[in-house]
Amino acid sequence: MFKLIRKYIRIFRKSRFDYESLVRVRVSKSAILHNYETFCNVCNGKQVAPVLKSNAYGHGLIHIGKILDSKNTPFFVVDSYYEALMLRNEGIKTQILVIGYSFLKNILTNTDPGIVFTLSTPHQIREISESLKVKQMFHIKCDTGMNRQGIRYEDLEYIVSLIKANKNFCIEGICSHLADADVENSLHVERQKNVWINIVRELKNHFSHIKYFHISATAGTQYIEQFDSNVVRLGIGLYGIDPFPGRALGLVPALSVYAVVVGIKPIKRGDFVGYNATFSAEENMTIAIVPVGYYEGIDRRLSNNGFVSIRGTACPIIGRVSMNMVSVDVSRVEHVREEEEVCVISNKIGDKNSVVSMAVRCGTIPYEILVKIPERLRREVID
């Protein structure tokens, strides 16, 4: 009965917010599935756990969850309990691993056995050991040399004693993270491997029932055979971008962003465009206004530096990127019309407005470009 009521509430809510959006984020289902299967093959029998944190790297938490819910993955990886609850609220059934830090209250009040928390500090583990009244599964995050989150090897003896002190405290998995996996023959990876081997051996001796061992993310799959692990956490690669592009895996970027032209005007040689007059026309030209800016995820560093595409032609962004709009030079496109479609972010890696190209122009990484696409923009799952 509750599920039926919730279904009708969703239908009613959707009808109330039915509107035509100026900006649309398109997510390719076939690309997500292709990338997932590609890494299942690359990982040689190891299980692949999709990472859906940070709104599925900007692609839409719920949308990606629904695409992969039937794929028999070991678990989805999210950063927060909030993200886990969002997935459950939309009917996602796959087990969920919360890999970020969680408050004790959230851990103890959780009643869903399919939501598993990661513990990463001695303080956290001591609190759980002293407070846990019912059986609950956890993953323990270990620091193998990145010096970010995780239990250090020298603290393992103390941690083991805390876990054994409470019969309800069950360890389902052990995890860590590689600091330099996108570098070939990395010395950091070699050092971390040696620490990981010792941690896994030590914890296996004390807890023979541990089910999952995972240290590799997308980049780490190039080192997959060197680690005692049985799960890979697949993040950026799931969405079609390989941080180690030399492998040529044939990944397909899943996301593209489209908007429309909302204004067209001719300007004369010497005219200025945008805030602070950073662009001055060297000749007569035609410009168009597109309703995307740094709030919609178009980085301000693309001012006088980026591109959009109209009918396959790359059109330079001129002047400052504003909060909700950019000006673009459309002089090379004949008879541009108001409300004509504009490709703001392309899903073709070689295009001037692909996520990879935008990241290079901004001096950053594709991850940052993707996660800054705001959640409020409507996502559409295509094909």
Task: Parse the chain into domains and list their residue ranges.
Answer: 29-247, 255-346+348-382
- Catalytic residue list: 275
Task: Produce one character per residue of 88-104: b if its CB has 16 or more CB atoms within 10 Å, e if not.
Answer: beeebebbbbbbbebee
Give pLDDT, residue 275: 97
Give pLDDT, residue 17: 65
Residue with tokens 């009918």: 311
DSSP string, 231-299: EEEE-GGGGT--SSGGG-------EEEEEE--EEEEE-TT-EESGGG-EE-SS-EEEEEES--GGGT--
Give pLDDT, residue 238: 98
Task: Produce one character per residue of 117-143: b if its CB has 16 or more CB atoms within 10 Å, e if not.
Answer: bbbbeeebbebbbeebeeebbbbbbbb
Give pLDDT, residue 260: 98
Give the Cα separation of 67 and 380 in Å (integer): 12
Give pLDDT, residue 226: 86
| Phi, psi (degrees; rounded to nearest 5) at 265 | -155, 145
Q: Which CATH class is domain 255-346+348-382?
A: mainly beta
What CATH number does the domain located at 29-247 have? 3.20.20.10
All residue ranges of the chain with pLDDT < 70 are 1-17
Give the Cα separation of 46 and 232 in Å (integer): 7
